[in-house]
Amino acid sequence: RRFIKVFSKIALPLSNLLKNDVTFNFDDACKKAFDFLKKASTSAPIIQPPDWNIPFEIMCDASNYALGAVLAQRVEKAAHDKSGAENLVADHLSRIERDGDTSPIQDDFPDEQLLLLHGVTPWFANIVNYLFAGVFPAGASQTQIHKLKSDAKHYVWDDPYLWKFGNDQVIRRCVLDYEIESILHHSHASQVGGHFGPQRTVRKVLDSGFYWPTIFKDAYENYRTCKECQIAGTTITRKSEMPQQPMFFCEVFDVSGIDFMGPFPMSFGFLYILLAVDYVSKWVEAIPTRTLMIQELLQILSGPTYFAGCEYPALS
């Protein structure tokens, strides 16, 4: 059937006859609606000549009051997409950015199971299913079932949230995966966050009444990748440092370390400083240089300004 404008309003008298506990009364309004729809369904451009190469089908329908039949042909047509220039309306609508969730709707859950979905299955889905309906994950081993029962003792389901009893006797809400980033941002990088370390950030999250099992790992990763903390240089913690191996030397000037510093504002044509430190006496020499070229470094190391006496190893 082709589109009929305001079809629902026109067919309303006929639709009322299909309701439960309604006496069948085919009055004038029903007769007018039926005649109008019959005329709309049998007038151009609805009717078209049959294709004699396709078999005909008779579709029948009957009730206690009437009998009807339709002679029709089943035509299978493939859909072909048109380019944007030929279908401007559809092309424009396809480019509109939508804020809604584009995940397909899944409505075939069993009545005895409860899952809170947001694109992916939440980490506490098995716990909720066990608390709400006593259902275990499919294919779970006996060890996994015992672990699930043990973990579920610390949780309580209060629709629509799952709550966890902490060791400090505080009840906290279990958050979904997509909420973690926002919670960490407000606890660390917002105006009231303060850009504290991961331990302090975790404490603020727990004090706010939120919980998820990987909270310490996520807080450290968020702290490590924070741009402001990287600029301030606070992300270089003992855990992030390179392993330091102590060096033991007994003689003065046995081994020394050298390194370049700079560039600094130019002064008398010098931009850099060559810093040399003795590992035993901690004697320091700072020599200005114009470049970082190896030729200038060799000239300094071979000159009287560096160290007098025999040559010793130098670490850079």
Identify the residue whose tokens are 């190896």.
294
Give 209's contacts (C-beta < 8 A, 6+ positions apart): 170, 171, 172, 173
Identify the residue whose tokens are 């309580």.
156
Regarding predicted confidence, which is higher, 176 or 192? 176
Instruction: Pick from 59-68, 212-221, 238-247 the range whose average pLDDT is largest.
Output: 212-221
**pLDDT at res. 100:** 55
Query: Tell me: the pLDDT tens digits for 81-92?
Result: 655 444 443 444
- Select from 312, 313, 290, 287 the least CA-distant residue to 300: 287
Regarding predicted confidence, which is higher, 311 or 200? 200
Rg (alpha carbons) of the chain, rounded to whole number: 40
Regarding predicted confidence, which is higher, 64 or 316? 64
**pLDDT at res. 69:** 85
**pLDDT at res. 10:** 87
**pLDDT at res. 247:** 61
Query: Tell me: the pLDDT tens digits for 21-62?
Result: 888 888 999 999 989 888 887 776 655 677 888 888 888 888
- Write out the two tokens for 34: 């039926």
**pLDDT at res. 112:** 47
User: What superfamily in CATH does domain 256-315 come from?
Assistant: Ribonuclease H-like superfamily/Ribonuclease H (3.30.420.10)
**pLDDT at res. 292:** 78
Query: Tell me: the pLDDT tens digits for 193-217?
Result: 788 888 888 899 998 899 999 999 9
Instruction: Round the average pLDDT of the chain to a whole number and report it.
Output: 76
Cβ neighbourhood burial of 212 (10 Å; 0-12, 13-18, 19+): buried
Give 310's contacts (C-beta < 8 A, 6+ positions apart): none
Q: Does residue 185 carry a pLDDT above 70?
A: yes
Strand pairing of 210-211 and 171-174?
parallel
In the structure, what pLDDT confidence band is assigned to residue 96 with cuts at 50, 70 and 90? very low
**pLDDT at res. 306:** 53
Cα-based torsion angle of the residue sequence 254, 259, 264, 267 in order, rounded to the nearest 10 degrees: 40
Q: Does residue 97 carry a pLDDT above 50?
A: yes
**pLDDT at res. 66:** 82
**pLDDT at res. 108:** 62
Cβ neighbourhood burial of 125 (10 Å; 0-12, 13-18, 19+): middle
Give residue limits of the domains in the chain.
7-69, 175-232, 256-315
